[in-house]
Each structure stands twice: as C-alpha cells, then as structure tokens.
Structure 1
C-alpha cells in the first residue's frame, strides 16, 4: 500500500511517500494511523493528534473508521480550508 503525506505531516515524517505492507490487524484508517505512529519518532509527532489529520483512501475523503480492504493508496494531510 502506498502512503502519502502532505504539508507538515510530510515534514514530520521526513518523506512525502512510502510503500508499506499493512499488517492484517490494521483494518481501518484509525488503525493505520496508530500503527504508523509506532514506526518512528517523526511518525509519532505527525499522528500525535488525530483530530488535526485528514485522510483520503484511493483519493476519496475518509474517516477514521474507513475500511482499508482493497485500498491501494492512503493520503494524510492537514484540514483544508478555502477562502
């Protein structure tokens, strides 16, 4: 699975993209965020406050409870505002 990071998440993780093997027990976006937070100090900083992170699964906005079965790409980014 490809994981993309944008804006300050990319800065904290230290990369804009990585390919991971998702563990079988990581079934939702929330599970993935928790698992990623354990990968490094940068990941932990990026996901320290899940309320500040938005997500898209295969380019569709998704909540923390969104299932990852069959997903090829997950993107994490800060809340988007317009103006």
Structure 2
C-alpha cells in the first residue's frame, strides 16, 4: 500500500490528513495517481485538478511522469 499525505487546505477539503491506498495496476506515475484519485468525484475531482497540486514521492518533489509504487509515501501539496 502507498501512503498518501495531504497538506494545507486539502486536509479540510478531503476530510483527512493521510491514508493508505492500494495502487491499481493502471497507476504507474504521479499523473496516473492524480487521475485515478479524481475519479472518486466530488471534492477529489475539484481539488486535484491539473496544476492544482504538486506531489512529492518519498519526500522529493516529483514530476507528473515520476513513477509511483506501493510502499511509496506520496504527499499532495496545493499550489494555490
């Protein structure tokens, strides 16, 4: 399972600061992860729009094409 951390306004909007998720096979990059999370709909879709967040993978800022795997720690940080 990957560990997701949410920061700043994401905590209030999503109602949680962190959570563990099993990444499906189609999630192989930060971009894929954000798209997968947006499919949850509602607040997830609104706050995780392109350019609305930056991600870190294992405490390092990561480009959208950066790979993600189970056991990674992925933090989502709002850009606005």
Give TM-score, length-normalised by structure 2. 0.87
Structure of higher CA gyration radius: 1
User: What is the CA RMSD across the aligned residues, in angstroms?
Assistant: 1.7
Cross-structure match for 1:51: 51
Cross-structure match for 1:9: 10
Give TM-score, length-normalised by structure 1. 0.84
Gaps of 5+ in 1: none
SS at match of 1:23: coil
User: Would you say how many aligned residue pairs link Structure 1 and Structure 2?
Assistant: 79
Q: CA deviation at 1:38?
A: 1.3
Q: 1:4 to 1:11 in 2, by over 3 A?
A: same
Q: Answer yes or no: is 1:23 the counterpart of 2:32.
A: no
